[in-house]
Amino acid sequence: MADRILMLILDGIGDRAVEELEGRTPLQSAETPNLDHFAEIGENGLLDTIAPGIRPGSDTGHLALLGYDPYEVYSGRGPFEAAGVGISLGSEDVAFRCNFATLKDGKVVDRRAGRIKEGTKELAEAVREIELGVDFDFQHTIEHRGVLVLKGEGLGGGVSDVDTHGSEKGYAKAISLDDSKENRKTAELLNRFTEKSIEVLSEHPVNEQREREGKPPANIILPRGGGTVPEMEDLKSKDGLDAAAISGITLVQGVCALAGMDIIEVQGATGGLDTDPDAIVEAAINALDEYEFVLVNIKGFDISGHDGLPFQKIEFIEKVDSSLEPLKELEDTYVAITGDHSTPVTIKDHSGDPLPLTIFGREIRNDDVKEFDERACGKGGLNRIRGKDLLNILKDLADRTEKFGA
- Smallest gap from Cβ 268 to Zn ion, in A, equals 20
- In angstroms, the CA 263 to CA 164 distance is 32
Smallest gap, in angstroms, from Cβ of residue 152 to Zn ion? 32
In the complex, least distance from residue 15 CB atom to Zn ion, rounded to whole angstroms? 13
User: CA 71 to CA 93: how far, in whole Å?
Assistant: 19
SS3 annotation, the chain: CCCEEEEEEECEEECCCEHHHCCECHHHHCCCHHHHHHHHHCEEEEEECCCCCCCCCHHHHHHHHCCCCHHHHCCCCHHHHHHHCCCCCCCCCEEEEEEEEEEECCEEEECCHHHCCCCHHHHHHHHHCCCCCCCEEEEECCCCEEEEEECCCCCCCCECCCECCCCCCCECCCCECCCCHHHHHHHHHHHHHHHHHHHHHHCCHHHHHHHHCCCCCCCEEEEEEEEECCCCCCHHHHHCCCEEEEECCHHHHHHHHHCCCEECCCCCCCCCCCCCHHHHHHHHHHHHHHCCEEEEEECHHHHHHHHCCHHHHHHHHHHHHHHCHHHHHCCCEEEEEECCCECCCCCCCCECCCEEEEEECCCCCCCCCCCCCCCHHHHCCCEEEEHHHHHHHHHHHCCCCCCCCC
Nearer to Zn ion, 123 or 303 (CB): 303
Q: Which is nearer to Zn ion, 11 or 43 (CB)?
A: 11
Q: Which is closer to Zn ion, CB of 42 or CB of 61?
A: 61
User: Which is closer to Zn ion, CB of 93 or CB of 340?
Assistant: 340
Q: How far is the CB of 341 from Zn ion (least distance, A)?
A: 5
Min CB(50)–Zn ion separation in Å: 12
Q: Give the separation between CA 157 and CA 169, rounded to whole angstroms.
A: 24
What is the nearest approach in angstroms of Zn ion to the Cβ of residue 62? 8
CB of 308 to Zn ion, least distance (A): 12
Chain residues in the site for Zn ion (CB under 5 A): 11, 58, 302, 340
Smaller CB distance to Zn ion: residue 45 or 339?
A: 339
Closest residue to Zn ion, judged by C-beta, is 58
To Zn ion, the closest distance from the beta carbon of 56 in angstroms equals 7
- 201 or 303, CB closer to Zn ion? 303
**In the complex with Zn ion, which residue's Cβ is closer, 340 or 373?**
340
Separation between Cα atoms, residue 80 and residue 19, nearest integer Å: 37
Rounded to the nearest whole angstrom, what is the least distance from the CB of residue 129 to Zn ion in the complex? 35
Q: Using the minimum distance from each CB to Zn ion, give the nearer residue, 58 or 120.
A: 58
* 184 vs 386 by CB, closer to Zn ion: 386
CB count in 10 Å sphere of residue 307: 13
Nearer to Zn ion, 68 or 171 (CB): 68
Q: How far apart are CA 112 and CA 217, in angstroms?
A: 10
| Shortest Å, Cβ 118 to Zn ion | 27
